[in-house]
Structure 1
């Protein structure tokens, strides 16, 4: 019995040390159901309750971020024991659908189902079910918009943020922004059939990391600006000062 506990402890510590797929596979061996293409933050930064691993089900393409807590039970019966002399167990399943992203420091409590295609905002405490195609945030978490509504908001806001980024580079470093400064913002000046023109950008890696839209993007994406210079013109970034 002691030897078995030691071996289990070594396996757990090794999986936590390695992280990534090694840790995900360890959770699977414990009984946690986890789908394909999931990513997890370093294990020391998350708390996944495996006291009842069979109560956790996670779909495909899920990002488990830093500070995440999945709690399938609680010990509120401590108060009941002292007050009423009774012991009442408390546990419940956690089910997370496909294509779900957690911001940092989120908590999901027992008995919660999160649907497909959801974004869970930074610091949210999820205490009740989340429907498909939803964005939730807050304490307790509540639906703030649909995924379609958020997508449309982000399209507009992303452009504003990218132009501001160009202006800040010029302001802080006193130079004209360079193509390699825009490892994510390239979408506004690179069309899908033009990626060979920009070898300095990690376009394929960005489009395949934690979800793959590379082939679709190549065939369908049309950049808002004709080229990098047109993007900088829109940001009103002047040439380097002489």
Structure 2
């Protein structure tokens, strides 16, 4: 069998990485287990160690951001070979559970398991197991709180951040953002009572909520009755800040 040239292999590698779907199909063809609903945000910057495909498994609904790496082995034997004239193998499984968000520039090293329902913060180097339902960050990566604690914290801070976003938008562009430009902050003025109206305006409620759409509509009650009420609240907060 004629070995592919390095140029041909490089072109094929880029082709496999043209989008998340094709990259996942390629990894599966090599024997790596990947569940449904997974996404690589930028396959061209992703590095999955395919030298030992049997050692890599990724569950379902895992969102992997840019510059993500999984390493199932190292090459310390390069040093052992030269100093001790010996060779020592080095490898380990990497198991990533389901319903996980992995931030940008994360490296997962050999011998690591990440449980279900986790958030791994940007820039983390995961050297040890991360238990399910955890938020973890750092180099080395460590658990900083439970997923439940982080969820409640984000619920408190979310409105403040929404106000800051609108204020920055107004300052930079000299106008209010349109409803569809608030592709996360719509939660403060959209619920079952008006969702059809805002979806017609291009607010991405369904795409953002995905499989949670139905349950969210049945339980969510927006803090403000409309987009206009929300913008009025933002402007009121701006006036209060200016007067203080």
TM-score by length of 1: 0.90
* SS of match in other structure, 1:128: coil
* 2:111 matched residue in structure 1: 111
Matching of residues 67-146 of structure 1 within 5 Å: 67-146=67-146
Which structure 2 residues correspond to residues 1-242 of structure 1 after superposition, within 5 A?
1-2=1-2, 9=9, 12-16=13-17, 18-198=18-198, 199-200=200-201, 201-208=203-210, 212-236=211-235
1:125 deviation in Å?
0.2
Runs of 4 or more consecutive aligned structure 1 residues displaced over 3 Å after TM superposition? 3-6, 8-13
Contact kept? 1:125, 1:138, Cα under 8 Å: yes
Distance 1:64 1:171 in 2: 33
Contact 2:20 2:41 in 1 (8 A): yes
Q: Contact (CA 8 Å) 1:193, 1:219: kept in 2 or not? A: no
Question: In the TM superposition, what whole-angstrom CA distance separates every residue of 1:104-146 from its partner, at most 9, and x where no partner exists?
Answer: 0000000000000000000000000000000010110000110
Q: How many residues align?
A: 233
What secondary structure, in the 3-state scheme, does the structure 2 residue paired with 1:187 have? helix
Distance in 2 between residues matched to 1:5 and 1:219, nearest whole Å = 57
Deviations 1:211-242 (A, max 9, x none): x211111211111112222212221258xxxx
SS at structure 1 position matched to 2:168: helix
For residues 40-93 of structure 1, the C-alpha deviation after alignment (integer angstroms, 9 at most, x for no partner) is 123221110000011000000001211001000000011111221210010000
Q: Counterparts of 1:181 and 1:226 in 2: how far apart (Å)?
A: 18
CA distance in 2, matches of 1:181, 1:100: 26
| Greater RCO (Cα-Cα under 8 Å, separation 6 or more) | 1
**TM-score normalised per structure 2:** 0.89
Instruction: Give me the whole-angstrom Cα distance separating, in 2, the residues matched to 1:43 and 1:179.
Output: 31
Taking only aligned residues, the RMSD between alpha carbons, in angstroms, comes to: 1.9
How far apart in 1 are the matches of 2:170 and 2:146? 36
Secondary structure in structure 2 of the residue aligned to 1:63: strand
Contact 2:183/2:204 (CA < 8 Å) preserved in 1? yes
Q: Distance in 2 between matches of 1:40 and 1:176?
A: 33
Name structure 1 gaps, 5 residues minimum.
none
Tell me if the contact between 1:45 and 1:68 (Cα under 8 Å) persists in the aligned partners.
yes
Kindly tell me: are residues 171 and 12 of structure 1, through their superposed partners in 2, closer, same or farther at Cα, counting changes over 3 Å? closer
Structure 2: 5+ residue runs without aligned partners?
A: 239-244
Contact kept? 1:12, 1:26, Cα under 8 Å: no
